[in-house]
Structure 1
């Protein structure tokens, strides 16, 4: 691997990294078909949803502002991750240059954490609508929802910028093989030489602040929501209130269940950097 060396404490910055995640997949070049179908469906379905909300004046409500935000984030996250994976499958190109690697690291982490926050915003909307039905139009106006969405976009932005900014000072003198299927933050700093305790702390902070905290907020919200639903006297009213939450609960499960399986169960069994690697060392 060709490297460029600076004169600061033998600081070594690699030209790029090799992504090892899909190394052992047989006939991996055909997996791009599945990814392409998923990507196109994601783009089309979310684009239709955004257009319906944008041009439907009756949908200009706090709830659908939150849904629109989630759709934007979903498209952004898919665009940050899937096209590069398709390129890897099609051309067996596992090398990623240094700066594009950091860019992908930032955008994937940013949009993933934004998705967690967008689901949290939807939980907030359901909480107001079900727990305070008579005051919901006052407590949750379009203006207030816009502020909530802006805050939910800004917090991950600041934290993820700091997280990625701690990568360039690291030196790489042993390996440039990233044990993941994209330029993942943990696997990238774990192969650096020297002290990466700041990066480890930041990774832990990001996990707690941007993923676990929104899931806890959503769980607490639903404790209050369930309590409010149980206080509704008619079974029809309880079922109607619960139905308004089903689609959100499905999205929460789709996003957070794999996250918890990856970062909690797998962490207890093996190092974090090896959890998402679909690979083996060549014999």
Structure 2
């Protein structure tokens, strides 16, 4: 982080606390039941996303560009909830609200990176559906494994660099007053507001990241489905329209459960009780990674076929062992 510090002068002394205190859930009644619920969500998320990744890895028919993006989404969901939920339980249920300065910034980096990658993975899946429906005859030529891998690698690098800058800007802040973060994790907005020197760079950059990782992906996905809708409107029969639209239902469900709760929470957040807002924000972070694999299992025909094949193979092997 020396680059960020030297950029504003070598003679500046930064006041950095030994630790922050995360107070988000402290004082909310009956929270032990919520922690049990979070643990249940986490277990389902781990099992579901691990199962989806295993299915894609084991079934050669699922090794397509689309399922490279699905595999990456499942991996990011697993990583994100693993970074967030156990730490929440440790902070609040086990009553360890203090978190070291460096640990807090690391926690922030991983949480924001995973949330950002979830949104960008939905963009990658949107690209896949857009090309599949608008250019069905050229789909295999346009949507190649190389294209999807390059897109996902670019997203990873972009997110890592972006969040590295986020953390770097926070290291320029002095914390000479409060060290209490009123959130359920090391929230960027809550941290930079505690700074007692100029927080303008963090404020501006934070708003830029909201646009890049929420606004821009949602705009791209919306335009993509407008183009898909226009293309489907020119399809001759209703049956063909429904068949093409059915391939988008899983992705549309993922987009809805990721973006809609965040849009609602941020739009009415000022009118919510602070405790209710914290709980709502925590749910919008934790719920999508649990629901994503369930949606793909229930709504994607290829996944259903793969599960049946594995069950049949397992049953066959069991019969042979018994005989």
Which of 87, 93, 106 does residue 96 from structure 2 map onto? Answer: 93
Residue 84 (structure 1) aligned with residue 87 (structure 2): yes
Aligned counterparts of 2:235 and 2:253: Cα–Cα separation in 1: 23
Look up the match of 2:251.
Answer: 248
TM-superposed deviation, 1:12 = 1.1
Aligned counterparts of 2:91 and 2:277: Cα–Cα separation in 1: 16
TM-superposed deviation, 1:102 = 0.3
Map Cα deviations across residues 147-181 of structure 1 (whole Å, 9 max, x no partner): 11111222111111101111112111110010111
Look up the match of 1:48.
Answer: 51
Q: Report the aligned-residue RMSD.
A: 1.9
TM-superposed deviation, 1:275 = 8.4
Q: 1:21 aligns to what SS in structure 2?
A: coil
Unaligned runs of 5+ residues in structure 2 are 1-9, 280-323
Stretch deviating more after TM superposition (111-120 or 78-87):
78-87
Look up the match of 2:115.
Answer: 112
Q: 2:159 aligns to what SS in structure 1?
A: helix
Aligned counterparts of 2:43 and 2:275: Cα–Cα separation in 1: 29
TM-superposed deviation, 1:35 = 0.8
Unaligned runs of 5+ residues in structure 1 are 1-6, 279-283
Look up the match of 2:137.
Answer: 134
Look up the match of 1:189.
Answer: 192
Residue 266 (structure 1) aligned with residue 258 (structure 2): no
Higher helix share: 2
Look up the match of 1:12.
Answer: 15
Residue 168 (structure 1) aligned with residue 171 (structure 2): yes
Count of paired positions: 270
TM-superposed deviation, 1:90 = 2.3
Q: Is the contact between residue 180 and residue 277 of structure 1 (CA under 8 Å) also seen in structure 2?
A: yes
Q: Is the contact between residue 117 and residue 155 of structure 2 (CA under 8 Å) also seen in structure 1?
A: yes
Q: Is the contact between residue 108 and residue 188 of structure 2 (CA under 8 Å) also seen in structure 1?
A: yes
What TM-score does the superposition give when structure 2 sets the normalisation length? 0.80
